[in-house]
Amino acid sequence: QQQVKQSPQSLIVQKGGISIINCAYENTAFDYFPWYQQFPGKGPALLIAIRPDVSEKKEGRFTISFNKSAKQFSLHIMDSQPGDSATYFCAPNDMRFGAGTRLTVKP
């Protein structure tokens, strides 16, 4: 059973642009929505997370927006930088990871 669907699989953005990654889930019992960032050769690292009692959370250039009725949450990276190039995973309740989105930010 696929409980988490992440899109797009890959994304190329110019420096300074906005990167948007989406995550759709099926399990309405999920109550914790984190995004993880993974650089090549490293383990994933928690980037930002949200609880369903709020619709948006911002930390620096990173924003999570949450749509409970649509069972979706998104990661927005403002002013994208080459150093943001990594693979991003959504992981509702940390039990099911999405397949990942490989982000490339071109200088």
Q: Which residue has the tokens 């997370």?
A: 49
Candidates 12-20, 63-71, 76-84, 94-102; binding stretch for other proteins (CB under 8 A): 94-102
Q: Based on the shown chain and the rule CB under 8 A, indicate whether residue 40 belongs to the binding site for other proteins.
A: no
Peptide bond connecting 82 to the previous residue in cis, omega within 30 degrees of 0: no
Candidates 12-20, 61-69, 76-84, 92-100; binding stretch for other proteins (CB under 8 A): 92-100
- Structure tokens, 47: 């980037």
- Give dist(CA 34, CA 66) in Å, integer: 11
Q: Based on the shown chain and the rule CB under 8 A, indicate whether residue 103 belongs to the binding site for other proteins.
A: no
- Give dist(CA 50, CA 31) in Å, integer: 9
Catalog residues that contact other proteins under the rule CB under 8 A. Answer: 4, 6, 9, 32, 34, 36, 41-46, 49, 51, 89, 91, 94-100
